[in-house]
Amino acid sequence: MMVSQQIDLAPPPSASALPREAIVSFEGVEKAFNSANGSVTAVRDLNLSIFRGEILTVVGPSGCGKSTILNMTAGLFAPTAGTVRYGGEKVQGANRKTGYMTQKDHLLPWRTVAENIAVPLEIRGWDRKKRADRIAELTQLVGLSGFEKSYPSQLSGGMRKRTALARLLAYDPETLLLDEPFAALDPQLRAKMQSELVRLCRTMKKTVIFVTHDLDEAVALGDRCAVFTPRPGTIREIVDVPLPGDRNILRLRNNEVFTKLAARLWDIIVPEEEGEIR
């Protein structure tokens, strides 16, 4: 008789037993926007800690406030109520400990790929040789070698995204805020970039908040996944991902923990979206 194996979806005891320091915290956060069409509450009752060195993925229906929480972490705007803290301090004004890759790439159209990536290195005063070496490393990393002299208008959507990611990595921020960074990539390149990102973040001990609509991606990359409700967004559930930090993302497809968790995220999210469509 076949006995189906029980998969333990609880976090490994060693991981949950570690003392964890909150690097970003949302305490009773609400954000409302006022416009000519009235007031929209994007997020409400948001209580969430992101721990130093973790990758937190964020999923939820369109318009539930995912970009809004990144904007507040980056200090681009303040909450209407409650507090957003970074390293224990209230975020007020631009948060320079974070590097933010927004849904738009914000490349400088008059600069080439290499010159866009160079911006943070120029700000830091690196000399030409040191800049060139770092740019070569980063263009190689994001698969843009050979396109250093191209202008953003000459690139595909995915190539623009990769240029923006390379520029973000050149800033070398403590915490990366990534808003659907791989949405425009083909599946192979996406998998490669996911692996590289995780490898880099683990090696360099970065903290990451990663917004995505792709539930497989949310499980593949996350140590935890925060699932949001529809707007006004708040946490519906935080799902622990009991896969090792150095997991091989390219080999997860047949991993039972991965497939079960991705299916579980789907179950958490889909009834809500069906409710909206009806």
Among residues 29, 53, 55, 65, which is the contact residue for ligand ATP, using CB under 6 A? 65
| Residue 67 touching Mg ion (CB under 5 A) | yes
Instruction: Indicate the residue among 30 and 180 with the shorter CB distance to Mg ion.
Output: 180
The span from the CA of 25 to the CA of 130, in Å, is 36
Q: What binding mask, one character per residue, do residues 75-104 give for ligand ATP by CB under 6 A, x or -?
A: ----------------------------x-
Applying CB under 6 A, the span of 16-24, 57-65, 82-90, 241-249 interacting with ligand ATP comes to: 57-65
Size of the site for ligand ATP (CB under 6 A): 13
252 lines the binding site for ligand ATP (CB under 6 A): no
Contact (Cβ atoms closer than 8 angstroms) between residue 100 and residue 70: yes
* Residue 255 touches which of ligand ATP, Mg ion, none (Cβ within 5-8 Å per kind): none
Q: Is the dihedral of CA 187, 192, 197, 199 positive or negative?
A: positive
Which helix (H) or strand (E) is 83 found in, with range?
Answer: strand 81-86
Q: At its nearest, how many Å lie between Mg ion and the CB of residue 231? A: 11
The three-state DSSP-derived secondary structure of 187-249 is HHHHHHHHHHHHHHHHHCCCEEEEECCCHHHHHHHCCEEEEECCCCECEEEEEECCCCCCCCH
Return all residues near 140 (Cβ < 8 A) that are at least 6 apart.
Answer: none
Tokens matching residue 72: 């507040």
Whether the bond into 232 is cis, omega within 30 of 0: yes
35 binds ligand ATP (CB under 6 A): yes
Looking at the Cβ atoms of 64 and 227, the one nearer to ligand ATP is 64
Out of 24, 55, 64, 164, the only residue in the binding site for ligand ATP (CB under 6 A) is 64
Distance, CA of 41 to chain centre: 22
Question: Which of the ranges 35-43, 88-96, 116-124, 266-274 carries the binding residues for ligand ATP, by CB under 6 A?
Answer: 35-43
Positions touching ligand ATP (CB under 6 A) are: 33, 35, 40, 42, 62-68, 103, 231
